[in-house]
């Protein structure tokens, strides 16, 4: 079972981890990224760098390592979600055939996403990548988001749709939504007025691709009225789709009833 956590740097990451790394400064990125790649080479991972990392970084490992700059490959347009997910999945399978322990990916997200990417697009893309990781793909993916490039609202969104988070934000993501099993997603933390828009964007991204979204809320401490309203708003955007809220605590269930959401016409159901 995947468990959300904050990590102190990149050293603790392991196979199956999908990490949001908010990078405060270029020199810190250079140091930590070198260590991350070198550690992988030592333990038998195949390395893949998505970005403009100097080739000298790859001198310590196999010539089969991959250095790909999406911005150059697409003329600055960045990659769409299908291209990114397909690439990681395909190269993870190749790494396994070639005898590597896993595929170790470092992605410079300012080179991956096109200019003008919205928080909702980030949520959609990262959640689809997380579904690949949570589905048992033998890979480690670190998504590096420079705080000097991306606005605070996009950084907050990125942090909320990864199971693991490291780096510096004014405030760490209040909630985390991540893949647990096919059709099942874990929701942890707190969803209140401050994070309601980010939560709505994340749920919209999931509902777009599945008729029934199952949210396990065992790790959810609180969802206030604004969060509940966003949950219903997201479900209403896709007629015929439903959200099943599972493992919610008694406080959440009581508030749901008191606010009048316990209504069979609402396409959100709290499972018994």
Q: What's the pLDDT at 4?
A: 57
Angstrom distance (rounded) from CA 46 to CA 92: 9
Distant-in-sequence, close-in-space partners of 260: CB < 8 Å, separation ≥ 6: none
The overall average pLDDT reported for the chain is 87
Beta bridge partners of 103: 46, 139
Picking from 141, 175, 144, the residue whose alpha carbon sits closest to that of residue 157 is: 175
- For residue 102, CA distances in Å to 12, 16, 64, 125, 227 come to 15, 9, 13, 22, 38
Beta pairing partners, 105:
48, 141
Instruction: Give me the pLDDT at residue 5, please.
Output: 60
Domains and CATH numbers, the chain: 12-172 (3.40.50.300), 177-270 (3.30.750.24)
**Radius of gyration (Cα) for the chain, nearest Å?**
19
Residues of the chain with pLDDT under 50: none
Whole-number pLDDT of residue 129: 92
> What was the pLDDT predicted at 6?
61
Check residue 30 and give its pLDDT.
84
Task: Supply the pLDDT for residue 35.
Answer: 87
19 closest CA partner among 147, 121, 166: 166
pTM listed for this prediction: 0.89
Q: Are strands 184-191 and 175-181 parallel, antiparallel or unpaired?
A: antiparallel
Q: How confident is the model at residue 55, as a pLDDT?
A: 58
* Phi, psi for 255 (deg, rounded to 5): -65, -40
What's the pLDDT score for residue 59?
Answer: 59
| pLDDT on residue 69 | 85
User: What is the DSSP track for the chain?
Assistant: ----EE-SSSTT--TT-EEEEEE--HHHHHHHHHHHHHHHHHTTPEEEEES---GGGGGGS-TT-EEE-HHHHTTT----HHHHHHHHHHHHHHHHHTT-S-EEEEEEHHHHSPTT--HHHHHHHHHHHHHHHHTT-SEEEEEEEETTTS-HHHHHHHHHTSSEEEE--SS--SEEEEEEETTEEEEEEEE-TTTHHHHHHHHHHHHTT-SEEEEE-TTEEEE-HHHHHHHHHHHHTSTT-EEEEES--HHHHHHHHHTT---TTSSEEE--
* Largest interatomic CA distance in the chain: 62
What are the structure tokens assigned to 206, written together? 């999931």
């Amino acid at each position: 079972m995947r468990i959300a956590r904050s990590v102190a740097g990149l050293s603790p990451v392991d196979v199956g981890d999908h990490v949001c790394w908010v990078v405060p400064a270029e020199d810190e990125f250079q140091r930590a990224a070198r260590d991350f790649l070198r550690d992988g080479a030592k333990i038998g991972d195949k390395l893949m760098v998505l970005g403009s990392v100097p080739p000298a970084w790859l001198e310590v490992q196999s010539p089969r390592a991959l250095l790909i700059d999406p911005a150059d490959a697409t003329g600055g347009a960045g990659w769409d979600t299908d291209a990114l997910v397909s690439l990681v999945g395909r190269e993870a399978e190749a790494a396994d055939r070639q005898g590597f322990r896993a595929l170790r990916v470092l992605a410079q997200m300012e080179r991956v996403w096109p200019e003008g990417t919205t928080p909702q697009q980030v949520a959609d893309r990262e959640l689809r990548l997380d579904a690949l990781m949570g589905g048992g793909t033998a890979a480690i993916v670190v998504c590096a988001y420079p705080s000097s490039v991306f606005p605070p609202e996009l950084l907050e969104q990125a942090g909320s749709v990864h199971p693991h988070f490291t780096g510096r934000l004014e405030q760490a993501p209040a909630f985390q939504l991540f893949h647990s099993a096919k059709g099942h997603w874990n929701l942890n933390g707190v969803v209140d007025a401050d994070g309601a828009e980010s939560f709505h964007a994340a749920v919209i991204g999931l509902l777009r691709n599945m008729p029934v979204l199952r949210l396990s809320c065992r790790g959810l401490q609180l969802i206030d009225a604004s969060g509940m309203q966003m949950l219903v708003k997201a479900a209403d955007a896709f007629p015929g789709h439903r959200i099943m809220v599972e493992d919610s605590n008694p406080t959440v269930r009581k508030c749901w009833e008191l606010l009048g959401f316990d209504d069979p016409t609402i396409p959100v159901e709290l499972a018994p």
